[in-house]
Each structure stands twice: as C-alpha cells, then as structure tokens.
Amino acid sequence: MSHFAQACLFAGLIAASAAHAQEPAVADDPYQWLEDVTGDKPLDWVRAQNARTDAALAATGEFKAMEAGIREVLDSDAKIPGVQKIGDWYYNFWKDRSHERGIWRRTTLEEYRKPAPAWETILDLDALNKAEDENWVWHGAECLRPDYERCLIALSRGGADADVTREFDLAKKAWVEDGFFRPEAKGALGWIDRDTVYVYTDFGPGSLTESGYPRVVKRWKRGTPLASAQVVYEGTADDMYIAAFHDDTPGFERDFVSRTLAFYNDELYLVGADGKQVKVDAPNSANKSVKRQWLTVELREPWTVGGRTHAAGALLAARFDDFMAGKREFEVLFEPTERSSLASFGWTKSHLVLNVLEDVKNRLSVLTPGEDGWTRSAFAGAPAFGTLGVSAVDDDASDAVWLTATDYLTPTTLSLAQIGRAPEQLKAMPAFFDGSRDAIEQHFATSKDGTRVPYFLVRPKDLKADGRNPTLLYGYGGFEISLTPGYSGGLGRAWLGNAHGGRRGVYAVANIRGGGEYGPRWHQAALKANRHRAYEDMAAVARDLIDRGITSPAHLGVQGGSNGGLLTGNMLTQYPELFGAVVVQVPLLDMKRYNKLLAGASWMAEYGNPDTADWEFIKTFSPYHLFDPAKNYPPVIFLTSTRDDRVHPGHARKMAARMIEAGKDVTYYENIEGGHGGAANNAQAAHMQALAYAFLWQRLAGDGQAAK
C-alpha cells in the first residue's frame, strides 16, 4: 500500500536526522539517542533485537517453510508483467529469484500476447550493482519523445526515497557519457527537450523546504554545470515540494510549475514562452490537471463558480484556453453521493474513463466530449465485483486501455480493451493458494458517533462462529487512500491457507475514516483534532468481528504500516483489551517530534503541528506518550527499516525500547536496507512478511497469551 511521493534526498535527510539525533536526551525522552539512524550504539541495539527476534521466530522449520512459500510468490516468473508503451515497444521492470534487484526489459505487443513472450533486456540492475559495487533499487524512467532514444533513469541506494538520476541511451543500451546526472538528492529531472531538463533537487543550503523536499526548480542546459542552471521558480521554506514539468502532447505542448504547500494544497502555474508564470486559478485543495484542450478539476471542498456551487468530490471539466482567458463554464462529469466517490479517471485519445467506488466497489463508465457536450456510456465487459484498474495504452494515439481486475481470492487478470468492445484477457496470475474454501463478505460496523463503517471479511466457508478463529484485521485510514480488495499470494499462503490446530486464518480489511473510500468527506472527517474518529472506527470493526462470533480478543490481531503503523500504535495503547497481537510496521509513533524527523513536516496538514496549540489534540493520539508502564498491553511486534528516509526508524526504536524496559511483550526487527517499503529485495521482503505472520500465529492460534 504505498502511500507517499517517491523522490527524496537521502544524504540531506540523513544529515538532518543525525543533527536532530545529536540533541541531548531530555528528561522526558531518555530514548532520543535511538534517533541517530546509523550511530554505532543504536545499531548495536538494533542488531541485538534482530538476533532475539530471529531466534524466537525464524529458527523453526515451520517458519522456513512459510518464508520459502512467500519468497516463491515474490520470485515467481508467473506474475503478470505490467508494461508501459514507449515508442513502438512495451517495457517492463521485472524482479524474480534470478534478478533480485530487477531487469528493465522490452518486447512487442505481438510477443506480449503470448504466454511466454520473448524479452530484450535493456538494463540489468544486479549486473550494474556488481559492476559499480552498489545496491541500486529501481525508481523509474522517463523517456523523451518522439524518438525515445534518451531516458532519465532514477536509482535509489538500498530502496530509500532519495535517488540519483542518470541519462541512458536506449539505442545503445548504455549510460550516456557526460550526460545529465543529478546527484543523490530528493527531487528529479524531467525532459523539456533533448538538451534541456527541469531539475529540482538539493542545490545546497537553503534550497530545501522544512519537509526536506526541493524548494527551487531550475532549467538546466546540456553541457553546462548544474550550478549555472537558470532558476524557474523558488518556493518558500514552509512549502512542501516545488517541481516543474513539460507536457509534450503533440499540438498541446506546455510547461507547468507545481507548488505544493501541503498535502492536498497546491498551486499550478502555466509557464509562458517568456518564462512568465500564470496561476491556474482553481482552488488549492482541488486536483488540477490539463490534457490536450481540457482542464479537469477534482474538488476536495465545495466550490462556487459560474453561478453554481459544486460539492466536494465532484469532477469538473472546462476548455483550458477559455479558462485561462477568464471564462468559468464547467461541465460536471461526476457528482458524489452518500455511497459513491470518484476513485480515479483517465484519458484515452477520444474518451475519459471514470472509475467510481460505490460502497467500496468499483464501477466503470465512459465519457466522450463532442460538439454538443459530453455523452456517457457503460464500459463494456467490466467485471461486476473486485478492484478494477484502468489505464491508457497510449493516450495520444489510441482508445485502447489496460484493464486489471482482482479480489482477495481471485488472482489478478490483465485485459486489453478498446473502448466500446469486450476486453481481451491477455494475462492472469496463477493461484498461489486454494481460495475455493473461502468466501468474501462485506459488513458494516457502527462507530462511536453512529457512522456506518464498511469492512471486507475473507473467511473459510465452513467457519464456526465460536470466537476462536485467528483473525487479522488490517487498516490504514489516512491521506485519502482507499483500501480495496486485492490478491496476495503471500497472505493467502501464510495466513488464509495456513492451518494451525485445524484452523485457517480469517482476514478483515477496515475502510475507516481518514481514507478515501467515500471521497474527500471521508478523509476530512478524521483530520487533525478529529483523528480519534479513525481509531474509533477501527475499534468498532474489531468489536463487530467479536460480536459476530468470528473471533475474540485473544485471537484477534491488527496490522498496519506507516500511517497505518500510527493506527495500530493507537490500537495498542488505546484499545489493548480488543487484541491478542499487534503488528506495527514502519510507523509514526512519537507525534511530538514527528515533524522534526525526516519528511515529517510534510504531514502537518494531516495531523497538525505539535509545536503549537495543536499539541493538545495531537497528544491524544501519540502512542509514544500514551504508553503507561502500569497498564497491560497485548504482545506487539515492531518492524521497520534503517534506510527508511520517509518515516524515521526512531519512532519504532524508541517505542520498543520504552516498552521493553517496562517489561512488556515486545518483538522488534529492523531491516538494514529497504527504505519505506521495508525491504530492498524479495529475500528481505519474504523474511519481514514471514516474521509478522509467524508472530501472529504464535500469539493468536492458541488459547491466547496474557497481556503485560
């Protein structure tokens, strides 16, 4: 579940975090020394905890079998190779057992239709790492039209958000000697033309925002020093992220500057040929995008424009040139209801495809602009249930789309569809576990304030409602991210299909407030001072599982990562009586200092500013401060990564250390690589996942363990 922007400054952020870590430990935080990310003393503590965890969980044959099963899924060459059309070729980045860091490869559409396409390797990261004695992780490529000979490739050390950008020659399949190169930094390069790029990165002192992201964007000419690049736009220190990009759509070439002030608060500027910037005067809270002649505005707050008030969650369209000339005539393409929200939308050459969530179930429709306005039609052949994803194959040249479909028990399929025709299935993932014995249900729990909160349940068809079924409840509840059904071979093998004492695991996913399942209102209902609603929703789902007899506290576990780690940290500290085990992954936990650690300052629009009066409500959901040594807590495992330069590993380290000293049942494991995803390769990912499942089975499959 990935949840934040990709491109960060590793060197600068680690330096910043080290500076924070050198602050003397204060009386109310004797564990602050653990914020020193790569310090000898903290890493000695980490290694000691890792050794204890591996000894307790990873030494059995059962663990090794589980880990191998997950690794087999991750390494499988039967996974669907998702492709991106670049020129006449279809490119894919692929990892398996033989390619731990992955290969960038390409094929033709004719080959891709075959069960076993012939691929041409363009770049082998494992070979590159060996040659350069590095540990590069792929962060993506941007290739320059129309000939697509040159690409800007981003690579990260160890999976951190921070990356470098290097210029690559596709024809020669080699790095461009003396080509464009951006040193390791938070930011990116983007093509303008063959000899010019936009660059936003760490240009030295004062060039980053307080969140650690780029504050300055420049135009850089080939063959000139980076230091001489021309400033295009300069934001302020309390902005979040400054960027620029060139729209190379034939006939509609334009340049834009993006100024992100905070999450869901940004300004978009059109850059003229003279360099002058004109603001696209739509609300800062709205998602603004331009495609060919159209401006689309996805509202997050009500907006009165053209004599009409539009609801939050609506999608509007206007002709871009007319809008910039002052006209305010919009066509309403989508209006939300109490049960529906816009999940996404995407252009093809002639159409706009809407993907709508109705009670967390995807529904597709097609809009077509014409001389007399927009017409609507159904998307032919879309599945009736499951998570659906639609993306254009080539939005400038055709009306073909890729259609993916999946649910918790159905392996993902990939189809090629021409708008208006039945999809042609091209690929299907294999079944990594037997899902025929299970059923998917949707239920609604009632939260403390009466709100109906949906959740999905995956259970054995022959489940006995005796309250003894090991059950894993997963949640996130933040940043307007929706949790929809998806197939996981690892989850299926390690939890759903893993019999312990004659029982198989039950899995539940909570669609709590803070997420985007019902659009902006669902997210905004749990912001800042209302954060408690997300936690009340999660607790309500847990109680509903218990009341239905599906499980009981001794057999109920809860899991979440990142913002979801903050969620499970609050389940641990505020609702310990509901759970028999808690999994906390790459978490935020110390909400007093979160804005001073790595990218934390960029999330104040979500949580508030603890250096102001906001602390009065933030402290009510700061697990590090809610912990009480005198209280009983369920067993907990903390999983994080040293190389996470987004959410500081100090959160998990400090919370674990505090609880261990108080004699609580705490398990801790920190991967030395991996970035915010926790692992840099499949072996590490399999080990981390297996540790979580082994911990859950150990704590939930028996008669329950006494809380401490």
Q: How far is CA 170 from CA 98, 108, 122, 432, in A?
A: 23, 15, 7, 36
- Three-class secondary structure of residue 365 per DSSP: strand
Pairwise CA distance, residues 245 & 258, whole Å = 8
The secondary structure of 171-185 as a DSSP string is TTTEEPTT--EEEEE
Which of 447, 562, 602, 641 is catalytic? The answer is 562
Q: Which of 139, 523, 676, 687 is catalytic?
A: 676
The CA-CA-CA angle for residues 412, 414, 420, to 5°, reads: 130
- CA–CA distance from 561 to each of 2, 251, 585, 676 (Å)? 9, 44, 4, 9
Query: Angle formed by the axes of helices 532-547 and 563-574, to 10°?
Result: 60
Question: Using an 8 Å Cβ cutoff, are 594 and 603 in contact?
Answer: yes
Q: At what angle do helices 650-661 and 40-57 cross, to 10 degrees?
A: 70
- Spell out the alpha helix ranges (H) of 639-678: 650-661
Q: What share of the chain is helix, strand, coil (3-state, %, to 5)?
A: 25, 35, 40
- Which has the closest alpha carbon to 643: 675, 681, 613? 675
Say which amino acid occupies 658: R
Six-digit token string for 437: 């014995």
Q: Rounded to an integer, what distance in angstroms lies between the CA atom of residue 360 and that of residue 535?
A: 19
| The residue to which tokens 């390409």 are assigned | 106
562 tagged catalytic: yes
Tokens of 189: 């390069």
Dist CA 677 CA 161 (whole Å): 10
Active-site annotation holds for 676? yes
Task: Determine the Cα–Cα distance for residues 351 and 367; give it in Å rounded to an integer.
Answer: 6
Picking from 675, 600, 663, the residue whose alpha carbon sits closest to that of residue 631 is 663
Residues catalogued as catalytic: 562, 676
